[in-house]
Amino acid sequence: MITQISNFKFQTVIDYDVIVIGAGIGGLTTASLLAKRGFKVVVLEQSDHPGGYCSSLPQNGYLFDIGASLFWGFDEGGVFYSLFSELGMIDGMLKGDNIRKIDPGLQIVLPNHRIDLFSERSRFFEEIKREFPGDLIYLKNFYQEIDHIEEKLYEIGGTRHPFVYNGKNRAKINQIKKFFLNIYTLVNNNRFLENYLRGWDKGLELERFMDLQTMYFGQRSAADSPIPFLAIISGIPRRGIYYIGGGAQFIADEMEKSIRESKGEIIYKARVEEILTRKGGCVFGVRARHKDISIEIFSRTVISNTPTFNLMRTGISKIRYKRMIKNLQQGWVPFSILLGVDEKVIPEPMREHVLMMRDYKLPPYGDNLIFISVNPAWDKTRAPEGKRCITASILLPSDIMKSSNIKSVLKEKGKEMIQYLEQVIPFLSDHIECVIDVDPLTYQGFTMREDGKMGMIKGGANMYGFSGLSNISPSRQLFLVGDTTYPGHSAAATVKSGIRTADLITRRM
Ligand SMILES: Cc1cc2nc3c(=O)[nH]c(=O)nc-3n(C[C@H](O)[C@H](O)[C@H](O)COP(=O)(O)OP(=O)(O)OC[C@H]3O[C@@H](n4cnc5c(N)ncnc54)[C@H](O)[C@@H]3O)c2cc1C
């Protein structure tokens, strides 16, 4: 039905089992699973492509990842593995050339140390022996304990992923309850790392070594990271880090393909402006703007992949959602530079992913912590012949956006970052062919996140979704997915959130 209302057209579309707002990696996960399980699904995405922060931007012959570029969870039982297995795509994907395990998956660069995070602990300890000989024994004990916790988390979670269990076996449920009681104690004990570090020879340097990893994977310092979180993060290289040929976009495109194959629909350039609720908070659909048409789509189940910060703007205040928003740390805004360079300048061996800290005494964020990603020579999709693409990102405290001369502050940051990168790639500035600054406002345009903001549910047990608060909302019909609903702030954590929501809906409907 199309009717003319004032100066734009109005269309009403009825009859979907599920509406998903946003085709980020979270929305795509839930939509692809539900479509495969036989639900009639529609995804509404404001931009013209899938992926959100898991997208790649073609520019001047290069293909730059704008957000995620380091992936984990493709090992057997990992989240991406589980997702694509259920979608019936994993064998084909792993047989192809695009998804490659890289070892070491990540290199940590500190002012006076360089440590490769190999997947095997024995090789990793060789690195530690070289860089921190006085602390080797402490670190071996630390990793033994933390690996044990991590293994238990995965074991209890079943093969799908930690923290989510959807079986009905009583013995297993009792085991989980007992285990979660212990974990609850661990989650609320933030002194674990502090107690460990007290006796270490290079305490500050090692704390920063941990900070780099927890800040990158979860936007919080190591000392502030609950133990299960620290355990999962420390286990990432051990479980396997992957490089995606064709960029992050390849992953999003595969999910989109699966949705369409299962007869789901994706409508691009469709911005949801309101989640429709009845008196009492019951959700019954959405109102969206698609090009110049306002559309209303009805469904008893709505899934929001919009960052939780944005929910208030989509009319969600009507359903008492303020508490959740308050519990989000008003964290970080990303700033990246995308560089196309002559490959002569890339030193050998150059790792695909490097996390660098410049100064131990500066806080572990802002331009003191830089994530660098360089495409390997074999991935010909990313750059013209003889060239490579580099992305370098930092996370800035969101307050920076209040400064009156923000544009020039950010421009200066971009120039400084190139200088800092020379610590890892000497003479870089002489070999740059193209530079693109991606500031927080550009990120806002990509994803509709205010200033591109990345946030986190505050500490405590609920951030792990033990009580299920993170994916559900006060309305039975509104579910949440995405990195603001699940700890971890990585593509893998976001996929976990998407699987969890798909499982909840499948059980309820
Ligand atoms: C610079 C940077 C580097 C990163 N590096 C890594 C990395 O190396 N590894 C890793 O694992 N993770 C990384 N991440 C994090 C990871 O990319 C994100 O956590 C993840 O992609 C978030 O997915 P999402 O689905 O939660 O949200 P988003 O990607 O933000 O997706 C939300 C989608 O919803 C759409 N949308 C929003 N509002 C509306 C609306 N009202 N109507 C219609 N559509 C709407 C948006 O357009 C978007 O497509 C990085 C992030 C950044 C910013």
SS3 call for 12: strand
Cα–Cα nearest to 483, from 334, 452, 395, 492? 492
The pair of three-digit structure tokens given for residue 501, joined into one six-digit string:
């929501």
* 3-state SS track over 325-358: HHCEEEEEEEEEEEEEEEHHHCCCCCCCEEEEEC
Instruction: Judge if the beta carbon of residue 480 lies within 6 A of ligand 1.
Output: no
Give the count of beta carbons closer than 10 Å to the beta carbon of residue 180: 17
Q: Work out which ligand 1 atom sits closest to the CA atom of 271.
A: 42
Domain shared by 323 and 472, yes or no: yes
Residue 460 resides in a domain:
no
Q: Give the single-character DSSP code of 423.
A: T
Domain shared by 140 and 159, yes or no: yes
Instruction: Judge if the beta carbon of residue 352 lies within 6 A of ligand 1.
Output: no
- Closest C-alpha residue for ligand 1 atom 2: 67
Taken in order 458, 235, 212, 496, the sign of the CA dihedral is negative
Instruction: Judge if the beta carbon of residue 258 lies within 6 A of ligand 1.
Output: no
Domain shared by 339 and 268, yes or no: no
The whole-angstrom separation of Cα 61 and Cα 421 is 22
Query: So what's the pLDDT on residue 155?
Result: 75
Query: So what's the pLDDT on residue 2?
Result: 33
Q: Work out which ligand 1 atom sits closest to the CA atom of 483.
A: 26
SS3 call for 283: strand
Considering its fold, how many domains does the chain have in total?
Answer: 3
Query: Do 124 and 147 contact (CB within 8 A), yes or no?
Result: no
Query: So what's the pLDDT on residue 161?
Result: 47
**Tokens 């600054």 found at:** 437
Give the full edge-to-edge strand order of the sheet including 18-21. Answer: 265-267, 41-44, 18-21, 301-304, 478-480
Strand-pair category, 353-357 with 106-110: parallel
Domain shared by 335 and 417, yes or no: yes
Query: So what's the pLDDT on residue 89?
Result: 97
Residue 115 resides in a domain:
no
Instruction: Judge if the beta carbon of residue 336 lies within 6 A of ligand 1.
Output: yes
Cα–Cα nearest to 57, from 245, 243, 246? 246
CATH number (domain holding residue 421): 3.90.660
Query: Do 351 and 118 contact (CB within 8 A), yes or no?
Result: no
**What is the span of the domain harbouring residue 312?**
2-97+246-327+465-508
Identity of the amino acid at 88: G
Domain shared by 134 and 194, yes or no: yes
The mean pLDDT value of the chain amounts to 85
Query: So what's the pLDDT on residue 316?
Result: 59
Query: So what's the pLDDT on residue 420?
Result: 95
Residue 452 resides in a domain:
no
Instruction: Judge if the beta carbon of residue 490 lies within 6 A of ligand 1.
Output: yes
Domain shared by 280 and 346, yes or no: no
**Tokens 């560089």 found at:** 339
Residue 107 resides in a domain:
no
Report the run of H or E that residue 71 belongs to, with start and end.
strand 71-72
Query: Do 237 and 118 contact (CB within 8 A), yes or no?
Result: yes
Residue 487 buriedness (CB in 10 A; 0-12 / 13-18 / 19+): buried
The pair of three-digit structure tokens given for residue 23, joined into one six-digit string:
């085709």
Q: Work out which ligand 1 atom sits closest to the CA atom of 446.
A: 47
Query: So what's the pLDDT on residue 247?
Result: 96
Q: Residue 117 contacts by C-beta under 8 Å, 6 or more apart in sequence?
A: 104, 105, 106, 107, 108, 124, 127, 237, 241
**Tokens 């976001």 found at:** 494
Cα–Cα nearest to 120, from 213, 240, 244, 243? 240
Residue 458 resides in a domain:
no
CA of 443 relative to ligand 1 center, distance in Å: 9
Domain shared by 332 and 443, yes or no: yes
Instruction: Judge if the beta carbon of residue 392 lies within 6 A of ligand 1.
Output: no
Query: So what's the pLDDT on residue 172?
Result: 57
Residue 262 resides in a domain:
yes
CA of 495 relative to ligand 1 center, distance in Å: 11
Domain shared by 217 and 271, yes or no: no
Cα–Cα nearest to 158, from 145, 176, 180, 140? 176
Query: So what's the pLDDT on residue 277?
Result: 84
Of 305, 310, 410, 486, the residue with max ligand 1 atoms within 8 A of its CB, to mutate for a pocket test, comes to 305
Domain shared by 343 and 290, yes or no: no
The whole-angstrom separation of Cα 375 and Cα 163 is 33
The region that residue 94 occupies, defined by phi over 0 for left and psi between -120 and 50 for alpha, beta otherwise, is: alpha
Query: So what's the pLDDT on residue 375?
Result: 96
Domain boundary among 210, 238, 266: 238
Domain shared by 372 and 261, yes or no: no
Domain shared by 371 and 317, yes or no: no
- 373-377 own/partner pairs: CB under 8 Å, 24+ apart: 373/65, 373/69, 373/70, 374/346, 374/350, 376/102, 376/243, 376/352, 377/343
Give the full edge-to-edge strand order of the sheet including 283-290. Answer: 2-5, 8-13, 293-298, 283-290, 270-277
Q: Work out which ligand 1 atom sits closest to the CA atom of 27.
A: 25
CATH number (domain holding residue 301): 3.50.50.60
Residue 114 resides in a domain:
no
Residue 111 resides in a domain:
no
Taken in order 76, 78, 83, 86, the sign of the CA dihedral is positive
Domain boundary among 238, 257, 276: 238
The whole-angstrom separation of Cα 238 and Cα 117 is 8
Query: Do 132 and 124 contact (CB within 8 A), yes or no?
Result: no
Domain boundary among 238, 268, 286: 238
Domain shared by 196 and 146, yes or no: yes
Query: So what's the pLDDT on residue 14?
Result: 62
Instruction: Judge if the beta carbon of residue 451 lies within 6 A of ligand 1.
Output: no
Query: So what's the pLDDT on residue 502?
Result: 94
Per-10-residue mean pLDDT, the chain, length 509: 42 81 97 98 97 96 96 91 96 92 97 97 97 92 89 67 47 59 57 68 87 85 79 92 96 98 97 86 90 91 85 60 59 92 95 96 91 95 97 92 91 94 96 96 92 66 45 80 76 90 89
The whole-angstrom separation of Cα 34 and Cα 214 is 32
Look up the pTM and report it.
Answer: 0.91
Query: So what's the pLDDT on residue 192?
Result: 62
